[in-house]
Amino acid sequence: MAKEMAKKALKKMTKKLVAKVEKKMEKKSESTSSPKKSKSSSNKKFTQIPFDYSSLTNAPSSNFTSVPIGKAPILDRLNYAYWASDMKMHLISLHPSLWEIVVVGVNIPNKDELITSEMMQDLHRNAQAVRILNNGLSEEEHRKVKGMEIAKEIWDKLQLAHEGDRKAKLGKIELIQ
């Protein structure tokens, strides 16, 4: 519901901005003198046609939402549990879809596949999440995920490196009990 309200507010602001730009364009076209003549020998007259900005209001407003990076928590080999919890909250605070990309993952389209605006948005958010995760790694930890470009794979690799697989987790729990 909050997302819908934000979209409506953004749409309203976009319409106001478009109206301002259109007014400025009209003033400019009125203030210019008669239509400019062509430099060619045929002496054709040309007029300026303003761009129709009203078509932009129908475009999806949530594409490529930029988020401020902020300061990410740093992972070294001793603080994984703290880092994982803190990084989750950091990603959610920047934008909940970033955490969703880390948990769910993203499908990389094939070369032949047509990329939709939704896929493009997911790829953009994945790149943001990868950048944030990489910013939160010490040099030693960064070597473990060097070259990885999918946020979910980075998260899973770090989790496996620090917590082990499911069997190792169960063994640790039994040992503690």
Would you state the structure tokens that stand for residue 51, as one six-digit string? 């761009």
Residue type, 153: E
State residue 38's pLDDT score. Answer: 45
Query: Which stretches in the chain have pLDDT values below 70?
Result: 1-3, 25, 28-49, 51-70, 166-172
State residue 93's pLDDT score. Answer: 87
State residue 137's pLDDT score. Answer: 94
Region of residue 119 (left: phi > 0; alpha: psi -120 to 50; beta: else):
alpha
Query: What is the per-residue pLDDT across 120-165, written as a single tens digit (0 to 9) for each?
Result: 999 999 999 999 999 999 999 999 999 999 999 999 999 999 988 7
In the block, residue with structure tokens 């129709």:
52
Q: Which helix (H) or strand (E) holds 115?
A: none
Q: Identify the three-state secondary structure at position 51.
A: coil
State residue 19's pLDDT score. Answer: 77
Instruction: Give the integer Cα–Cα distance in Å for 84 and 90.
Output: 10
Residue type, 134: N
Contact 164, 100 (CB under 8 A): no
State residue 126's pLDDT score. Answer: 95
